[in-house]
Amino acid sequence: MESRALAQLLGPVEIRQLAEKLDVTPTKKLGQNFVHDPNTVRMIVAAADVSEHDHVVEVGPGLGSLTLALLDTVKDVTAVEIDPRLAGELPHTVAWRAPDYADNLRIILKDALQVSTGDFEAAGAPMPTALVANLPYNVSVPVLLHLLAEFPSITRVLVMVQAEVADRLAATPGSKIYGVPSVKAAFYGEVRRAGSIGRNVFWPAPKIESGLVRIDRFAAGDEPWPLNDETRAKVFPLIDAAFAQRRKTLRAALSGHFGGGAQAEAALVAAGIAPSERGEKLGVADFVRLAGVTQ
């Protein structure tokens, strides 16, 4: 890869040229804000710690700012885009700004919440080893959790999301902002805040701040609990129930799940959890243990 020319990244002028060419107006519905600062996308790629061995999935590539920076560094990129205009233009942008990497890009025109391993196989794309993306802010958490579940091959995640969402994802038990996204993300691996992004690197400039979240999936063979569909199907409903009314005790919050307060209390005691505790105090291991009791 060293012998290839570096991609020419997109700046404010190129972003506006492309948007005008495509008659694209960033929409709130799709959570679109286009990054026009080359230094920012370089920083995101560096924070992702990806290499020439990685197969990256990027959700919502937009006009291609991050895509170009990724192609400079990784083996290949599969971009999942819901907007046909953007998906259609991206190969031309890569051919224009990074011709040496044109063959390393694949595009799947689909809603990221519906994308599957079958879509990757149909596109001739390798299973991704990393997710690096400026996620659409209106569906960032559902998309993140869907991809972690659908692609066990993803070992590393670096996503840009709304700052408030980044804080919630990285929150720890006992925090006021700790909730369902925090626990479900931590089910898969180590989650941490990886930086902040200012508003002025976007066009149009959003009204909110943005943040980076890094997730390193538990290594195969060293998982604290099975990261499979069966375990997730038992654990995630418990998480949802525990936080549905977060001021309730776990005995009360889980009574519906277990068929009554007495049954909920018995399960909690068997799992070594105080029935008077609240969901915000429990870590993933507690929920996994509780799910094991109720098998």
Give the C-alpha separation, 267 to 24, whole Å: 54
Find out whether the peptide bond into 206 is cis, omega within 30 degrees of 0: no
Q: Which residues contact 99 (CB under 8 A, 6 or more apart)?
A: 5
Name the strand (E) or helix (H) holding 34: strand 34-35
Band (26; pLDDT cuts 50, 70, 90): low
Q: State pLDDT tens for residues 188-247.
A: 999 999 999 999 898 778 888 999 999 999 999 999 999 999 999 999 999 999 999 888
- Tell me how far apart the alpha carbons of residues 76 and 52 are, in angstroms, rounded to a whole number: 8
- φ, ψ for residue 208 (rounded to 5)? -120, 160
Q: How many Å apart are CA 87 and CA 115, to the nearest integer?
A: 15
pLDDT class of 137 with cuts at 50, 70, 90 = confident
What digits encode the pLDDT tens for the residues 231-266?
A: 999 999 999 999 998 889 999 999 999 999 999 999
> b/e string for 62-71 if b means 16 or more Cβ within 10 A?
bbbbbbbbbb
DSSP SS3 for 204: coil
One-letter amino acid of 24: V
> Of residues 24 and 235, which shows the higher confidence score?
235
Please tell me whether 200 is known to bind a ligand. Answer: no
pLDDT over 70 for what percent of the chain?
Answer: 96
Mean pLDDT over all residues of the chain?
94
In order, the DSSP letters of 94-156 are HHHH-GGGGGGEEEEES-TTT--HHHHHHTTPPPPSEEEEE--GGGHHHHHHHHHHH-TT--E
161 is in an annotated binding site: no
> Per-residue pLDDT for 294 more than 90?
no
Distances (CA, A) of 72 to 50, 76, 102, 123, 196: 11, 9, 11, 21, 23
Beta partners for residue 264, in sequence order: none
Walk me through the domains of the chain, giving residue ranges and CATH numbers.
12-217 (3.40.50.150), 229-292 (1.10.8.100)
Residue 288 predicted with pLDDT over 90: yes
Is 134 annotated in some ligand binding site? yes
pLDDT at 113: 98
Q: What is the pLDDT of residue 30?
A: 45
CA–CA gap between residue 51 and residue 72 (Å, rounded): 10
111 in a labelled binding site: yes
